[in-house]
A and B are shown apart, each in its own frame.
Chain A
Amino acid sequence: GESVGLHLPTLSVQEGDNSIINCAYSNSASDYFIWYKQESGKGPQFIIDIRSNMDKRQGQRVTVLLNKTVKHLSLQIAATQPGDSAVYFCAPLGGNTPLVFGKGTRLSVIA
């Protein structure tokens, strides 16, 4: 029979272009947000985090934007490289809830 799997949103980006990965959350008590990157065959790895008292945070080639009003955050990757190909998860924390991951977004970089 037909198998039904988890359909990951997929973003395909040309190498060198910028990538924007979006994430919506529902818990208004969330006050800390973490982005993870999961490459094939590995566990998720921490990329960058942001607290609710900020609306922007920059790392090396990555920027996270937080809009608490609409409960939305985004991860921007500048000059996307083949090594950026992975599944990206945002993980909101707060309100005494354990770390729960959404289904993630698959980023495919076209060389």
Chain B
Amino acid sequence: DAGVIQSPRHEVTEMGQEVTLRCKPISGHNSLFWYRQTMMRGLELLIYFNNNVPIDDSGMPEDRFSAKMPNASFSTLKIQPSEPRDSAVYFCASSLTGVSPLHFGNGTRLTVT
């Protein structure tokens, strides 16, 4: 298996632009998680899905952030409009169930200027 695949690997954008991060979980995994990692706050859980349904989005910073999982093999995290403080590494992870080990992608490094 190729593991969790995230794209793009790096994204540089200007403040105010829309940013879309993509994730392909491991086939057969029914839970998907979006995390954000910064030096200031460490690794933060933003939202997670079970069977394509959002279960807990309390970690999403504000309404500028939205996540979707239209099917079992694809998820997006969108930031609109983006701000410099959104600069971080965004990780997607999937797991077989909600209580089994997570498999992380290699992240998307987002820089908003």
A contact set with B: CB distance below 8 Å: 4-6, 32, 34, 36, 41-46, 49, 89, 93-94, 98-104
B98 proximity list for chain A (CB < 8 A): 98
Determine whether the beta carbon of A43 is less than 8 Å from that of B40: no
A6 proximity list for chain B (CB < 8 A): 39-42
Chain B residue at minimum C-beta to C-beta distance from A32? B99
B56 proximity list for chain A (CB < 8 A): 98
CB distance from A37 to the nearest CB of B (A): 11
Known: A5-B39, A99-B45. A46 touches B99 (CB 8 A): no
Determine whether the beta carbon of A43 is less than 8 Å from that of B45: no
Determine whether the beta carbon of B101 is less than 8 Å from that of A49: yes
Does more than half of chain A's interface fall in helix, strand or loop, or is it mixed?
Answer: loop
B93 CB-CB contact with A under 8 Å = yes
Q: Which of A43, A46, A94, A103 has the most CB of B within 10 A?
A: A43
Complex A-B: 10 CB contacts under 8 Å: A5-B40, A6-B39, A42-B106, A43-B93, A43-B104, A89-B43, A98-B45, A101-B35, A101-B43, A101-B45
Counting from the closest, the 7 A-B pairs by CB-CB distance are A43-B104, A101-B43, A5-B39, A46-B101, A103-B42, A6-B42, A43-B91
Contact of B106 among A5, A41, A49, A98 (CB under 8 A): A41
CB distance from B87 to the nearest CB of A (A): 13
Q: Which of A34, A45, A99 has the most CB of B within 10 A?
A: A99
Chain A residue at minimum C-beta to C-beta distance from B92? A43
Chain B residue at minimum C-beta to C-beta distance from A44? B104
Known: A5-B39, A99-B33. A45 touches B45 (CB 8 A): no
B45 proximity list for chain A (CB < 8 A): 98-101
Contact mask for chain B residues 64-106; partner A; CB cutoff 8 A; 1 contact, 0 none: 0000000000000000000000000001010000110111111
B107 CB-CB contact with A under 8 Å = yes
**A29 CA to B21 CA, complexed, in Å:** 34
**A36 CA to B56 CA, complexed, in Å:** 22
Q: Which of B42, B56, B98, B107 has the most CB of A within 10 A?
A: B42
CB distance from A23 to the nearest CB of B (A): 14
**A44 CA to B107 CA, complexed, in Å:** 10
